[in-house]
Amino acid sequence: MRVFQNASQALREEFRPCKRCKPTGERLPDREWVAQITQYIDSHYNEKLTLEHLADMCHGSPFHLQRTFKRLMDMTPVEYIQKKRIERARELLAHSNNQIADVAQMVGMPNTPYFITLFKKMTGKTPSEYRQLYVKQQTT
């Protein structure tokens, strides 16, 4: 555990200030808190991310995280993670020759059948269909 003398020192080290850094006990505003969570997800989408891990990382409870994130982002943290992973998968499928299973691994989804199902649900196409369509568009 690292302890900082003040909130600005914690922020410089890319940590969210906790009550120790804010002796008045004031909470970080919800928008800033959610922004830090989304930044963390954006940087770590390819890792195993759970609601419990995110809540622990940002010094909150899973329930509060879920409720606050949904209220401000109009989606749950899990939906945001899935969206980020599928966005990255689309880039990889369009600009690489990696196998579908490899792309799934690269975006943090080791279960290939689930990745294919989620990809189709979110884009309307399977990863293979998406890649073929992208290649076809580039050649015409």
- For the record, the structure tokens of 17 come out as 């200030």
Contact indicator for 6, 21 with CB cutoff of 8 Å: yes
* 20, 51, 70 from 86: Cα distances, Å: 38, 19, 19
| Residue 19: per-residue pLDDT | 47
pTM assigned to the model: 0.78
The pLDDT score that the predictor gives to residue 23 is 45
Enumerate residue ranges in the chain where pLDDT < 70.
Answer: 1, 4-8, 16-28
pLDDT digits (tens, 9 = 90+) for 93-126: 999 999 999 999 999 999 999 999 999 999 999 9
Domains of the chain listed by start with CATH number:
7-74 (no CATH), 89-139 (1.10.10.60)
Comparing CA positions, the residue from 40, 35, 46 lying closest to residue 82 is 46
